[in-house]
Amino acid sequence: MTILEVKQHIIQSIQSVYDEREAGNIAVLLIEHFTGLSKMNQFLEKEKDWPEQSAEPLEAAVLRLQKGEPIQYIMGITWFYGLELTVNKHTLIPRPETEELVERVIQYLTSLTIEQPRILEVGTGSGCISLAVASRIPNAIITAIDISEEALKVAEENGKQIKHNIDFIPLDFLNKTNWTTLGHFDIIISNPPYIKQTEARSMHNNVLAYEPHTALFVADNDPLIFYRAIAEFSKTFLNKPGAIFVEINEQLGNETKAVFETFYPVSLQKDMQGKERMIAAFQS
């Protein structure tokens, strides 16, 4: 088969799972993964024969796509804020709206006069947020925690690509007895689990079947558990001036805002799609 025929084969094979546009984008990514050819070069070399050694791996990948497995897990990589990151079943796939959270954090950090701001990330997963911040603010001192040791192995591997010493620590943040081991910080960042169990019914199977549920879901009767813990932690361990940046459930914007308003002035912010997805809280 030629490159063009392979692209058509991938699209046709996964159209029952993805719409035509998304299927086309996935085909481009998969072909680049196997051949190194960019989208433009795939077009320019569309009559080139598909490498024989990649025939079986391609079919194996197509079968995984047909079952709904995300392309990022099949390739083992994704891109976030200009970084190529390893991801697997132990880590969430970073979303574009999280890049918006990172951008707001970096804007705030560049306005500070602190020479080495201390940052805590709660629930680092693949390390994408901490690594993105470190790539732009190399003088920051970052502690990134997660309850999953398997996720932290991925984060540590991702950390090797930038010259920055991020301290990745396995820790259950909801266990308050662990808090004193962390120290004090100028900024707290988090994209914690915030999806209610009942919301799972409306989610795509490629998320439900493959992404780690501990990083996604919270109990319906206490959906703000992580935000309350972050707010309480900050009362003692957030320096003055200090700031908190968190990604939130768009359906719980006012409720999440109220958690932090008890202590700080709070800004409820919308993402590029107009959804209430971020909160920034400041203390002076």
Judged against a pLDDT cut of 80, whether residue 232 lies above it is answered with yes
- What CATH number did the domain enclosing 129 receive? 3.40.50.150
Judged against a pLDDT cut of 90, whether residue 205 lies above it is answered with no
Judged against a pLDDT cut of 80, whether residue 187 lies above it is answered with yes
Q: Tokens 């989208």 appear where?
A: 39
Q: Are 59 and 172 in the same domain?
A: no
In a domain, 142, yes or no: yes
Q: Are 43 and 149 in the same domain?
A: no
Please state, for a pLDDT cut of 90, what percent of the chain lies above it: 81
Q: Are 114 and 199 in the same domain?
A: yes
Judged against a pLDDT cut of 90, whether residue 284 lies above it is answered with no
Judged against a pLDDT cut of 90, whether residue 217 lies above it is answered with no
In a domain, 84, yes or no: no
Q: Are 235 and 99 in the same domain?
A: yes
| Selection from 178, 212, 210, 208 nearest residue 193 by Cα | 212
Q: What is the mean pLDDT of residues 102-108?
A: 96
Q: Are 29 and 94 in the same domain?
A: no
In a domain, 29, yes or no: yes
Judged against a pLDDT cut of 80, whether residue 203 lies above it is answered with no
Q: What is the mean pLDDT of residues 188-197?
A: 91
In a domain, 74, yes or no: no
Q: Are 35 and 132 in the same domain?
A: no
In a domain, 221, yes or no: yes
DSSP string, the chain: -BHHHHHHHHHHHHTTTS-HHHHHHHHHHHHHHHH---HHHHHHTTTSBPPGGGHHHHHHHHHHHHTT--HHHHHTEEEETTEEEE--TTSPPPPHHHHHHHHHHHHHHHT---SS-EEEEES-TTSHHHHHHHHH-TT-EEEEEES-HHHHHHHHHHHTTSS---EEEE--TTSGGGGGGT--EEEEEE----EEGGGGGGS-HHHHTTS-GGGTEE-TT-TTHHHHHHHHHHHHHEEEEEEEEEE--GGGHHHHHHHHHTTS-EEEEE-TTS-EEEEEEEE-
Confidence of residue 57 (pLDDT cuts 50, 70, 90): very high
Judged against a pLDDT cut of 90, whether residue 220 lies above it is answered with no
What's residue 211's pLDDT?
Answer: 82
Count of structural domains, the chain: 2
Q: Are 161 and 47 in the same domain?
A: no
Judged against a pLDDT cut of 80, whether residue 208 lies above it is answered with no
Q: Are 60 and 110 in the same domain?
A: no
What's residue 246's pLDDT?
Answer: 97
Confidence of residue 209 (pLDDT cuts 50, 70, 90): confident
The range of the structural domain enclosing residue 182 comes to 89-283
Q: Are 195 and 244 in the same domain?
A: yes
Judged against a pLDDT cut of 80, whether residue 42 lies above it is answered with yes
Q: What is the mean pLDDT of residues 233-260?
A: 95
What's residue 40's pLDDT?
Answer: 96
Q: Are 116 and 211 in the same domain?
A: yes
In a domain, 60, yes or no: yes
Q: Are 168 and 38 in the same domain?
A: no
Instruction: List pLDDT tens digits, range 132-179.
Output: 999 999 999 999 999 999 999 999 999 998 878 799 999 999 999 999
In a domain, 81, yes or no: no
Instruction: List pLDDT tens digits, range 61-104.
Output: 999 999 999 999 999 999 999 999 999 999 999 998 999 999 99
Q: What is the mean pLDDT of residues 33-43?
A: 95
Q: Are 51 and 191 in the same domain?
A: no
